[in-house]
Amino acid sequence: MQPYAYGWGRLGPYFNLFFLLFFGLLILSISRVALVFWQRDRVRATGMISEIFVQGIRADLILLGYFIIIPLALAPFLARRHTAQLWAKLTFWWTTGALVFVGFLELASPQFILQYDVRPNRLFIEYLSYPAEVFGTLWNGYRAVLLTTVTGTLMLAWALHSVLIRLSTRMTIWPTKKLLLTWPVLMLLVLMQIRSTTAHRPANTALFALSGDALVNSLVINSAWSVLDAISSLRKEANSSEIYGKMARAEILAEVAAAPWLRDYRYPITERPTLHHQQAAITRDRPLNLVIVLEESLGATFVQSLGGLPVTPELEKLKHEGWWFEQLYATGTRSVRGIEAVVAGYPPTPARSVVKLSLAQNNFYTLALGLGKQGYQTEFVYGGEAHFDNMRSFFTGNGFQNVVDRQSMQPRFVGSWGASDEDLFDKALQRLHHLHAEKKPFFSLIFTSSNHEPFEFPDGKIALHDPAKQSVNNAVKYADYALGKFIRAAKQQDYWRDTVFLIVADHDNRVYGDSLIPIKKFHIPGLILGADIKPRRISTMASQIDLGPTLLSLLGVSSQHPMIGRDLVRDSTSPGRAMLQFNNYFAWLEGSSATILRPGQAPLPGRYHAGTRQLTLDSTAADERLVKRAMAHVMLPSLLYREQQYGLAK
């Protein structure tokens, strides 16, 4: 680094910080222009092109203000003659690092948007915890994109370093008096830049939700702020639902308990406010076994009879043999969200799934925990590494007595996410035979992974739907083939007549669309078959959290549990409801109405058309009854988690 001249200069010791501001705005503006041009049809549909750029500059200034304020606060102590070299090096590397960080996230944004239809957010952070799986996915499925992003970031770093090191000789150190007189003014200006409003609350990401299209809203802000905001939100997860407002504890519990399927229950334990005794609707001499096949990313998108593509012929054949759900909705867009809903009956929140949260790692209710109290053997079988998404810790701490994953298998085909579905189901068949031989009822959770990017599966198994083998449609068709093969084999076993099988998706594959919440991408298939289950169509709206209570009744298990879902054995005809969490938006579906809660903004009413699977937002005020119902159901899980009350009696 060249020596710094001491004397007068126009920007003085703040040269590098002004460089950070100017080039930061340049990088972010170029990226936003490119992204808006790429998504011009959706942007044009909102009619807010000018607002996107004006508010985008505002958002960029907020982000860059955060980066500037830290070194600026140190200026009175370091921007002096005797510490000039330290100040110069500090601001040089801080500026370079900040701009490389900003540039990297902008370069990574297009591929993330292609996958998740929104800028990098909390998912970007969560996936960083699993470098092996993520790198395998990127290398095998997106190698060109990965190399382009890394190369682009390195080139940006080199260019910034070269330019800044040449220009930084212009930095000068001011006399102490001038430094101390200008510093408070600059601090005030940067603080105003960060606050960006005279309202009682500083500007936040919610203020930039200008349209009903989540992707367009995300284009207004920048990817670095989106990621940093997600990191900040991780510290507030115990109170995550409070982004929608506040509601008294008693009011929350009363509203939830007023649901038609809950209002006749008694809740005798204050410390477990939703714990109640569910009497099984079916009486059995011996409770049945339970097998849940949780299918990765198998949305209605891929089921022809649900309005999707014809790539699940095996599932279409099986639907005539059991309970087929026509209006079943996932609670979220991640596997762990599906796990908490299906296995624990736990509603969604804006926080991460409880599978990953610290207060839910022990004595948190799951079907395994409850059935274990009834003498069941409980097991989790997965073709990948069970540590992914913290599943091993959550399951072993909450009732699963055994975990079987890739390490316990000898698969014939291994992809980036582990053993193929055929290998997984072969191992599952072995384990079911072993569990049955123990002469005790059992519960086995089987989680597939072949239908996961980069969509790797064995050759020669299916007639490809798409010409290029590694496509989502081909992967789904292979997963369906493996599922059909598994069910045919299970039917030949003695335990078939004593076992209830649930086949259900954790979520759909890609959640995208020009809707604030793309509800159609939450629609998933669900099928219950086996034992003495008779064919039946469940046409009422249902949520993943309804599956737990329903399964307990079908098994003939009467027990205490804290689940607030609906037992569809007792009532499968009256109108239902569903709850969906999409980023920071929460949707409450009831009949044809949709109520959307937004952080820092008024709730939005809408109409959901099940036939076309489209959401239409209304311009009128939201129905207060529905808002209250939605608020209670999104506040409850946060309350139960925070107070550690989602469990069995002590």
The DSSP 8-state label assigned to residue 48 in this structure reads -
Tokens of 376: 């069941």
Percent of the chain with pLDDT over 70: 95
Mean pLDDT, all residues of the chain: 90
* Residue 479 pLDDT level (bands cut at 50, 70, 90): very high
The predicted pLDDT at position 512 comes to 66
3-class secondary-structure state, position 393: helix
Q: pLDDT tens digits for 172-199?
A: 888 889 989 999 999 999 999 999 888 7
Report which of 392, 403, 386 is spatially closest to residue 449, judged by C-alpha positions.
Answer: 386
The Cα 576–Cα 543 span in angstroms is: 8
Tokens of 512: 């995208």
Report which of 17, 230, 226 is spatially closest to residue 106, judged by C-alpha positions.
Answer: 226
| Residues 204-227 as b or e (16 or more Cβ within 10 Å = b) | bbebbbebbbbbbbbbbbbbbbbb
Structural domains present in the chain = 12-239 (no CATH), 249-642 (3.40.720.10)
Tokens of 80: 């002096």
Phi, psi at 561, each rounded to 5°? -160, 160
The predicted pLDDT at position 35 comes to 94
* Residue 510 pLDDT level (bands cut at 50, 70, 90): confident
Q: pLDDT tens digits for 102-156?
A: 999 999 998 888 877 888 887 777 777 667 766 776 777 677 878 888 898 999 8
- Residue of 47 and 529 predicted with greater confidence: 529
Phi-psi region of 17 (alpha: psi -120 to 50; beta: other; left: phi over 0): alpha
Residue 454: asked if its preceding bond is cis (omega within 30°), the reply is yes
The predicted pLDDT at position 23 comes to 93
User: How far apart, in Å, are the Cα atoms of 107 and each of 94, 167, 563?
Assistant: 20, 25, 43
The Cα 496–Cα 452 span in angstroms is: 29
Q: pLDDT tens digits for 220-261?
A: 999 998 888 877 776 666 667 888 999 999 999 999 999 999
* Residue 4 pLDDT level (bands cut at 50, 70, 90): very low
Tokens of 561: 């549990």
The predicted pLDDT at position 25 comes to 96
- Euclidean distance between the first and the last CA atom of the chain, given in angstroms as a whole number: 65
- What mean pLDDT is predicted for residues 594-608? 90
3-class secondary-structure state, position 401: coil
Residue 610 reports pLDDT greater than 80: no
Best mean pLDDT range from 5-9, 376-380, 416-420: 376-380
The predicted pLDDT at position 130 comes to 64
Residue 5 reports pLDDT greater than 70: no
The Cα 313–Cα 146 span in angstroms is: 35
The predicted pLDDT at position 1 comes to 40
The Cα 626–Cα 605 span in angstroms is: 9
The predicted pLDDT at position 213 comes to 76
Q: pLDDT tens digits for 395-408?
A: 999 999 999 999 89
The Cα 323–Cα 307 span in angstroms is: 18
Report which of 435, 356, 433 is spatially closest to residue 401, judged by C-alpha positions.
Answer: 435
3-class secondary-structure state, position 30: helix
Residue 303 reports pLDDT greater than 50: yes
Residue 64 reports pLDDT greater than 80: yes
Task: Give the number of other Cβ atoms within 10 Å of residue 581's Cβ.
Answer: 27
Tokens of 371: 């059935």
Q: How far is CA 520 from the centre of its chain?
A: 16
Residue 351 reports pLDDT greater than 70: yes
The predicted pLDDT at position 239 comes to 66
